[in-house]
Amino acid sequence: MTDTTALAADLETAVRAVPGVSTLYPTAPLLATIVGAVVDAITTRTVSPPLVSVSNGHAGLSVSARIGVADTKSAASVSRLVYDTIAANPAIRAAEPIDTISVTVASID
Amino acid sequence: MTPPNMPDATSDWYLSDNEPGHLDGHTIEELNDYLDRGRVPANLSIDTSPACQIALASLERLSSAMSSLLQDEADRADVRDDSWVTAIMDGIVRDARSGRDIPLEHPSPHARLFVTEGAVRGLVRAAGDTVANLIVGRCRLDGDLATPGAPITIAINASIYRGESIPALAEQLRQTVAAALSAHTELTIAAIDVTIQNIYLTRHDPEIGQDTP
């Protein structure tokens, strides 16, 4: 079974490094993110909830990211670059099968 | 495999009217106050909301445009109809909502790529606000956004400074918005309809220190 938390953190770093990505937004509602952080505190885990979500389903691994794109880059091109970056991540390739990789451009700054 | 690149019918777009005056739980007044405080102390709920970020950017541009108004315009506030400012702020809230998901193409069957309607409207507003002597009031995307290549229409309401050429500014706005949409999206634009709704503003010319014209 894939360690989705570690993988999500790894992917978050990779997505942030994609040229044109200005922001990474939570994929879960903020309330759920905050609750997740509280649970982490209670269990003395220090990790913050990852901004890239990774889940295991019956059809395989699903990855989701919501990004802001700098106005100097094409939003469509950056979204494809983010997809390609996630798909090419060694941990993702090792974790196949992949169900979906979702990338949503939520703002163009 | 999860169904193909189709927008989620249960997304916020369909639920957003439950809180018509709010963006992710925040009013435009709260966002304005946050801007006035220099975004300090940091508000996680606002800072992690794309809708709030789009609205804040629009408010900053509106504030900059408003600062060019003459003081005597402000002094005449008691006899002037300021409803256009309220209308612009209402438009900012409506336009910043996430709205529908617009698919972007990718050859992989695993890819689900989207740009939100709110991001596109924010792009249109930002592009429109770069046109001198014009402020975008509201923008709307009309048409089938879920089908790649389907022609859509952009409807924009704007206010302009008194004395400016409406046809010239409208055409400049169309060209600017079309260029921005072409650069960032894969939308097929059938038309960009511009409505100049208000001509309330008086531009301040610091060179001569007078209203122009």
All domains in chain B, ordered by first residue: 12-212 (3.30.70.1350)
What does the pLDDT read at residue A29? 61
* Contact B22/A at CB under 8 A: no
* Contact A25/B at CB under 8 A: yes
What backbone phi and psi angles, to 5 degrees, belong to B208? Answer: -115, -5
* B41 cis-preceded (ω within 30 degrees of 0): yes
Please name the member of A62, A80, A108 whose beta carbon is closest to the beta carbon of B106. A80
CA–CA dist A37, B30 (Å, integer): 25
Residue B60 CB neighbours (<10 A): 12
Q: Encoding tokens for residue B181?
A: 């949409």
The tokens 């206010």 sit on which residue? Answer: B159
Asked whether the beta carbons of residue B50 and residue A98 sit closer than 8 angstroms, the reply is no
CA–CA dist B39, B17 (Å, integer): 27
The pLDDT-based confidence of B9 (bands split at 50, 70, 90) is: very low
What does the pLDDT read at residue B1? 55
Asked whether the beta carbons of residue B113 and residue A68 sit closer than 8 angstroms, the reply is no
Asked whether the beta carbons of residue B101 and residue A71 sit closer than 8 angstroms, the reply is no
- Which of A51, A62, A50 lies closest to A96, judged by CA? A62
The percentage of residues in chain B with a pLDDT greater than 90, rounded to a whole number, is 60
CA–CA dist A2, B121 (Å, integer): 38
CA–CA dist A10, A28 (Å, integer): 18
Distance in angstroms between the alpha carbons of the first and the last residue of chain B: 63
What does the pLDDT read at residue B133? 86
Nearest-neighbour CA in chain B from A43: distance (Å): 22
Which residues, in sequence order, are bridge partners of residue B138?
Answer: B157
What does the pLDDT read at residue A47? 47
What does the pLDDT read at residue B65? 80
Is pLDDT above 90 for A6?
no
Is pLDDT above 90 for B183?
yes
CA–CA dist B168, B145 (Å, integer): 29
Asked whether the beta carbons of residue B115 and residue A105 sit closer than 8 angstroms, the reply is yes
Is pLDDT above 50 for B204?
yes
Answer whether CATH 3.30.70.1350 is correct for domain A4-108.
yes
Nearest-neighbour CA in chain B from A36: distance (Å): 14
B-chain residues within 8 Å CB-CB of A104? 101, 113-116
Region A51-77: mean pLDDT is 93
User: For A12-21, A26-35, B172-181, which range has the lowest pLDDT when averaged over its residues?
Assistant: A26-35
Distance of CA B48 to the CA centre of its chain: 19
Summary mean pLDDT of chain A: 84
What does the pLDDT read at residue A91? 86
Asked whether the beta carbons of residue A23 and residue B53 sit closer than 8 angstroms, the reply is yes
The pLDDT-based confidence of B127 (bands split at 50, 70, 90) is: very high
Please name the member of B44, B45, B98 whose beta carbon is closest to the beta carbon of A106. B98
Is pLDDT above 90 for A78?
yes
* ipTM attached to this prediction: 0.86
CA–CA dist A15, A17 (Å, integer): 5
Q: What is the per-residue pLDDT across B54-107, written as a single tens digit (0 to 9) for each?
A: 999 999 998 888 776 654 455 555 545 667 788 888 899 999 999 999 999 999
Domain boundaries, chain A: 4-108
